[in-house]
Chains A and B, each alone.
Chain A
Amino acid sequence: MLTAIIALAGLALIAGFGLALAARAFAVKVDPKVEEIEEALPGANCGACGFPGCSELARRIAEGKAGVDACPVGGGAVAQQVARIMGIEYEGGGVRKVALVLCNGDDQVARKRFFYNGVYDCTSAAMLFGGDKACSYGCLGLRTCAGICPFGAIEMLPSGLARVDPEKCTGCTTCVGACPKGIIKMVPYERTVHILCSSHDKGGKVRRYCQVGCIGCQRCVKEAPEGAIVMEDNLAVVNYEAEIPALVAGVCPMNTIHAGGADIPDERHAVGGEG
Chain B
Amino acid sequence: MAYGAFAGGVHPAYNKELADRRAIEEMPLPEQLVVYFTQNLGAPPEPIVKKGDTVRKGQVIAEAKAFVSAPVHAPTSGTVKSIDMFPHPVGTDMPAAVIEPDGEDAWAEGCNVERNTDSLGPDEIKKLVQGGGLVGMGGATFPTHVKLSPPEHKKINILIVNGAECEPFLTADHRLMVERADEIIEGAALFARVLGVERVVVSIEKNKPDAIETMRSRSADRKGFSVAAVNVLYPQGAEKQLIYSITHRKVPTGGLPMDAGVLVQNVGTCFAAYEAVRFGRPLIQRVVTVTGSGVAEPKNILARIGASFEDLVRFCGGISGDTGKVISGGPMMGVAQYSLGASVTKGTSGVVFLRRDEIPQYVNDPCIRCGKCVTACPMRLNPSALSIFAERMAFDKTDEFNVLDCIECGCCAYVCPSRRPLVHHFRRAKAEVRKKAKRAG
CB closest chain-A residue, reference B431: A127
Asked if B93 is at the interface (CB within 8 A of a chain A CB), the reply is yes
Stretch at the interface among B46-54, B182-190, B420-428: B420-428
- CB of B91 within 8 A of CB of A119, answer no
Main SS of the interface on chain A? Answer: loop
- Contacts of B407 on A, CB cut-off 8 Å? none
Per the bound structure, the CA–CA distance linking A124 and B362 in Å amounts to 17
Stretch at the interface among A26-34, A49-57, A110-118, A169-177: A110-118
Q: How far is the CB of A255 from chain B (nearest CB, A)?
A: 28
Main SS of the interface on chain B? Answer: mixed
CB closest chain-A residue, reference B387: A119
- CB of A128 within 8 A of CB of B91, answer yes
Number of A-B contacts (CB under 8 A): 39
* Chain B interface category by residue count: 10 to 19
Which of B93, B425, B428, B431 is the most central at the interface, judged by chain A CB atoms within 10 Å of its CB? B428
Given contacts A118-B421, A119-B421, A119-B424, contact A128 B93 (CB under 8 A): no
Asked if B67 is at the interface (CB within 8 A of a chain A CB), the reply is no
Asked if B335 is at the interface (CB within 8 A of a chain A CB), the reply is yes
- CB of A129 within 8 A of CB of B338, answer yes
Per the bound structure, the CA–CA distance linking A14 and B83 in Å amounts to 84
- CB of A113 within 8 A of CB of B338, answer yes
- CB of A130 within 8 A of CB of B92, answer yes
Q: What 10 pairs between A and B have smallest CB-CB spacing?
A: A114-B338, A124-B428, A118-B424, A119-B424, A128-B91, A118-B421, A119-B421, A113-B338, A117-B361, A129-B91
Q: List residues of chain A with CB under 8 Å of any chain B CB.
A: 113-115, 117-121, 123-124, 127-130, 136
- Contacts of B364 on A, CB cut-off 8 Å? 119-120
- CB of B93 within 8 A of CB of A129, answer yes
Partner of B91, one of A115, A127, A136: A127
Asked if B87 is at the interface (CB within 8 A of a chain A CB), the reply is yes
Per the bound structure, the CA–CA distance linking A117 and B363 in Å amounts to 8
- Contacts of A121 on B, CB cut-off 8 Å? 428
- Contacts of A130 on B, CB cut-off 8 Å? 92-93
- CB of A117 within 8 A of CB of B428, answer no
Pick 14 A–B contacts, CB within 8 A, sort by A.
Answer: A113-B339, A114-B336, A115-B361, A118-B421, A119-B364, A120-B364, A124-B424, A124-B427, A127-B431, A128-B91, A128-B336, A129-B87, A129-B92, A129-B338
- Contacts of B391 on A, CB cut-off 8 Å? 119
Q: How far is the CB of A174 from chain B (nearest CB, A)?
A: 12
Per the bound structure, the CA–CA distance linking A129 and B92 in Å amounts to 4
- Contacts of B424 on A, CB cut-off 8 Å? 118-119, 124, 127
- CB of B92 within 8 A of CB of A123, answer no
- CB of B428 within 8 A of CB of A127, answer yes
Which of B91, B391, B424, B427 is the most central at the interface, judged by chain A CB atoms within 10 Å of its CB? B424
- CB of B92 within 8 A of CB of A119, answer no
Q: How far is the CB of B53 from chain A (nearest CB, A)?
A: 25
- CB of B362 within 8 A of CB of A119, answer no
Q: How far is the CB of B91 from chain A (nearest CB, A)?
A: 5
Per the bound structure, the CA–CA distance linking A136 and B425 in Å amounts to 22
Given contacts A129-B87, A129-B338, contact A124 B425 (CB under 8 A): yes
- Contacts of B362 on A, CB cut-off 8 Å? 117
Per the bound structure, the CA–CA distance linking A120 and B87 in Å amounts to 22
Task: Name the interface residues of B399-441: CB closer than 8 Å to any CB of A.
Answer: 421, 424-425, 427-428, 431
- CB of B361 within 8 A of CB of A128, answer no
Q: How far is the CB of A15 from chain B (nearest CB, A)?
A: 40
- Contacts of B339 on A, CB cut-off 8 Å? 113
- Contacts of B361 on A, CB cut-off 8 Å? 115, 117
- Contacts of A129 on B, CB cut-off 8 Å? 87, 91-93, 338
Q: How far is the CB of B294 from chain A (nearest CB, A)?
A: 16
Q: How far is the CB of B82 from chain A (nearest CB, A)?
A: 15
Scan B82-120; emit 1 where CB is below 8 A from any A CB, else 0.
000001000111000000000000000000000000000
Per the bound structure, the CA–CA distance linking A124 and B422 in Å amounts to 12
Task: Name the interface residues of B327-366: CB closer than 8 Å to any CB of A.
Answer: 335-336, 338-339, 361-362, 364
Given pairs A127-B91, A127-B424, A127-B431, 7 additional interface contacts (CB within 8 A): A118-B421, A119-B421, A124-B425, A127-B427, A127-B428, A128-B91, A130-B93
